[in-house]
Amino acid sequence: MNNPVIGLFGTCGGSKWRDDFIKVYEEKGIPYFNPQVPDWKPEFAVEEARHLAEDKVILFPVTDETYGLGSLAEVGFSALNAIKLNSERDFVVLIDPKPKPELESNPQLFKESTRMRALVMQHFKRLNMRDLYLVSTLDEMLQVSLVLYDIALRRNTLSQFSVLEKKQEGT
């Protein structure tokens, strides 16, 4: 029985949102996966995809630091597929309503990002999924992740009694 892992997906680039999360997780001894590395290489995609498919708690903030067009495209697909692969996983999403004002220097991208953010959030709000959590701030995301990690630990303890687990073990 492995300890659950929290996957820190979402906005990358020069974003520092993960720093506070990592500090708390390390203080509490919570395992996490951070896909943001100084020199990302295509071969890292295999490990990243494995974590997206297996980590018990997936965090996916699309912050205002970038236009986030790639993240917005990825978040919906990732959430649905990640949860579909394993229903005992939780997906926490934060989508800032629009990019920060400094990014208005490109009005077309700013407008497209704002439109996509609103559309993705409306689609998420219409889903009927108990494993999907929509939060408004990074502080809320951190708090929700801690609660979900605790629940994942409890699920691990119970897994020894699960009919599904016993079937997979052949007993």
> What would the pLDDT profile of 24-63 be if each residue is shown by its tens digit?
999 999 999 999 888 888 888 899 888 988 899 999 999 9
Any idea what the CATH number is for the domain that residue 14 is in? 3.40.50.10140
Q: Is residue 115 part of a domain?
A: yes
HEC sequence for 87-146: CCCEEEEEECCCCCHHHHHCHHHHHHHHHHHHHHHHHHHHCCCCCEEEECCHHHHHHHHH
Q: What pLDDT, in 10s, does the model give residues 73-94?
A: 778 777 777 666 666 789 999 9
- The closest alpha carbon to 31, from 7, 62, 61, belongs to 7
pLDDT of residue 76: 75
How many distinct structural domains can be found in the chain? 1
Q: What is the mean pLDDT of residues 151-155?
A: 92
Q: Is residue 29 part of a domain?
A: yes
- In this structure, of 5-14, 125-134, 141-150, 162-171, the range with the lowest mean pLDDT score is 162-171
| Structural domain for 160, as ranges | 6-169
